[in-house]
Structure 1
Amino acid sequence: MPDNAENVEIRDRLAHVLEPLAKTLPDDLRIAVLAAFAMHEPARKPFYQERVHWAARELDRDDRTIRRRIDEGIEHVAHLALAGPREGGGRPAPDGSWHTELLRVSLALDQERPEVFEFRRIVADADEVAELDLALTLTTTSSAAGPVRESDLDVDVFHGGTLVRRAMESSDRVGLALRLAKPLPRGDTHDLALRFRAEFRHPHYVCVPRHPVDRFDLHVRFPAAPPSEIVRLDRVFQDDARDLGARGDVVAPDGSGEVHLRFDRLAPGFAYGIRWSPAG
């Protein structure tokens, strides 16, 4: 952008880039981000704090919550803006290296120790993709549960690569690195299958993709005593997945105690899956 660009021109150019991205966000984030940048007509006030006040009234939240929502929204918009469009008009990947075309997960909660079978088909969006960065979060509900340890998660690779690295990325997230047998050229697909075993510290299972996912099929098999409620979580914040105030469509298990959910076009950083209330 030229150094002598006028303020109005700068705002118009910024709006041209940011507005379409912000409109892909959930309602509260979209309103907060558009208000912060004065891109929403009713919120076009001269001072930032006035725009924060406006969003707080509009969303029935306090100013501090709105500022946090603005920060979260900007972070998501930045991911999308930095990625750029993928060839063929598909969804962008945050680092431009690969995305998931199909993710199929079977979660067995009727086992002595819950098991997750993950079947994934990835597509290389860059040349020479040799390693995949994966992760699993074991949400801690309280300090009484104790810290999550790397050994709390068992991982088995059935096919598709070699697990070469695993380490704690945060207090409850285990990062994994899967090295492929040979680097993938741009546009090639690759299938892999993994099994995870771990005790669930909170009654929910969600996919929070680092890279875009075109389709996510989730099958969950519950124990003989079914949950009192099962809720579909679609494009929510990861922290909200365990918040009973974050509602979604209620789903019922079939005669085998199973549910099957499908999600399309998953955006990085948001959570998709289910939450259940233990049987009363």
Structure 2
Amino acid sequence: MDGRAKRYDDDLKQLRKNRGLCLARADQIGAALREACGVDSQDTPAEIVQKVTDAVLRHAAALGEEQRVAALTALGLDGPQTRFLQERELWLAQRLERNPRTARRRIREGFAELASLLAGSSRPAPCPAGTWRTERLRVLLALDQPQPEAFVFRHVIADAEVLDELDLAVTLTASDRSASARENDFSIDVFAGGTLVHRTQETSQRISLALRPPKPLHYGEKHEIAMRFRVAEMLPHYVCVPKGACEEFDLTVRFGDQTPRSIGLLEKVFQNDVHDDAVTGQPLEPDGAGEVRARFRHLEPGFAYGIRWQGSAQEPS
């Protein structure tokens, strides 16, 4: 580990104390780490913490699974946001199915690799034009309406030097699995964040959408999009299958008084297994308004995350 990486490693170790980076004060972030994460003298304390958090999450995506989980857990960016590092280490040991000593070693390894990545560049090499990642995706799905209706709020971060168009995609799920979903089976409205300039039916189930932001986005710039989807009908699930990095996904499904017989969580399952009844997750119970909620963090591309339900409470068993 060279001298610069050693300074970053020392700063990361300092940040893991107490509640970690997620609740850190700006004055707890070392000068070396500030420089590596692009902090400047004009940034507010909140902006300093956010810049360092974004940079750590971005570089951590390149780590091995155990080292990534270990480093982010120690910093309070994954797992329980407890007050004490020791509690997070015990949680990590259970998550990795290792003893606490091994968990602490994984943290050290994760910090060392993360420091080396930070030392290699103050930011990753520019990605090809047209690329971006999702910082947060929030979906409100209402099933108590005449047609299923979803409000989608997406916070994105540009990973290209200049980004003037965002490629989105929607997978339509016909109620008959042998049938093909049609483009006119759904409608889309953009409430904020740009103009829908193109939509193409890529396959029998998938529609590609091109959204042009009000102005081109530059590397690291954040942008929010608000959209509404209405579909004619849908299969009994809603999932997100990210193509690229997605740091957080919040999903609320409102059933109203049409409560299903069962509701289950789908977390990191293969996309083709979404339809498989043998794949079961944590059961969920609706609240007094007939709503269930799920939150996912650090989604892995290609896997499905969401909620699946079976039958209506009014249907015979």
**Structure 2 Cα separation of the partners of residues 192 and 142 of structure 1:** 31
Quote the residue 1:238 is aligned against: 271
What is aligned with 1:109? 143
Could you tell me how far apart the structure 2 residues matched to 1:259 and 1:233 are? 13
Aligned with 1:263 (options 291, 296, 317)? 296
Query: How far is 1:94 from its partner?
Result: 9.7
- Please give the secondary structure, in 2, of the residue aligned with 1:170: coil
Q: C-alpha offsets along residues 51-82 of structure 1, whole Å, 9 cap, x if unaligned?
A: xxxxxxxxxxxxxxxxxxxxxxxxxxxxxxxx
Identity of aligned residues (%): 49
Contact 2:264/2:309 (<8 A) preserved: yes
Change over 3 Å in CA distance of 1:200–1:153 after alignment to 2 = same
Residue 151 of structure 1 aligns to a residue in which SS? helix
Q: Which runs of 5+ in 2 are unaligned?
A: 1-61, 69-116
How far apart are the structure 2 equivalents of 1:101 and 1:130?
Answer: 18
Alpha-carbon shift at residue 201 of structure 1 (Å): 3.0
**TM-score when scaled to structure 1?**
0.65
**Rounded Cα–Cα distance in structure 1 between residues aligned with 2:159 and 2:272:** 29
**Structure 1 residues not aligned, in runs of 5+:** 1-17, 25-83
Equivalent residue for 1:61? none
In 1, the alpha carbon distance for the partners of 2:293 and 2:64 equals: 32
1:203 alignment counterpart: 236
Once the two structures are overlaid, the 10-residue window that deviates more, 257-266 or 199-208, is 199-208
- Structure 2 vs 1, CA of residues 87 and 155 (structure 1 numbering), >3 Å: closer, same or farther? farther
Q: What does residue 31 of structure 1 align with?
A: none
- Which residue type is aligned with residue 265 of structure 1? H
Return closer, same or farther for 1:208/1:94 CA change in 2, 3 Å cut-off: farther
1:140 offset after TM fit, Å?
3.6
Contact 1:138 1:200 in 2 (8 A): no
Q: Read off the aligned partner of 1:108 and give its amino acid letter.
A: A
Matched with 1:129 is 163
Superimposed CA distance per residue, residues 176-230 of structure 1 (whole angstroms, 9 cap, x where no aligned partner): 1101121111011001100000033310000111121111111110031200000
1:165 aligns with 2:198: yes
The alignment partner of 1:228 has SS state of strand
Q: Among residues 177, 181, 187, which one is paired with 1:154 in the alignment? A: 187
Which residues of 2 match residues 1-280 of structure 1 at below 5 A?
20=64, 97-140=131-174, 142=176, 146-279=179-312, 280=315
Q: Report the aligned-residue RMSD.
A: 3.0
Shift in alpha-carbon separation, 1:142–1:88, aligned structure 2, 3 A: farther
Distance verdict in 2 for CA 1:23–1:234, change over 3 Å: farther
| Contact map agreement 2:134 2:155 (CA 8 A) in 1 | yes
TM-superposed deviation, 1:168: 1.0
Give the structure-2-normalised TM-score. 0.58
Match of 1:41 in 2: none
Q: Are residues 249 and 95 of structure 1, via their aligned partners in 2, closer, same or farther at CA, if it must alter by over 3 Å? A: farther
The residue matched to 2:229 in structure 1 has which SS? strand
Q: 1:94 to 1:212 in 2, by over 3 A?
A: farther
Distance in 1 separating the partners of 2:252 and 2:306: 10
> Does the 8 Å CA contact 2:130/2:165 hold for their aligned counterparts?
no
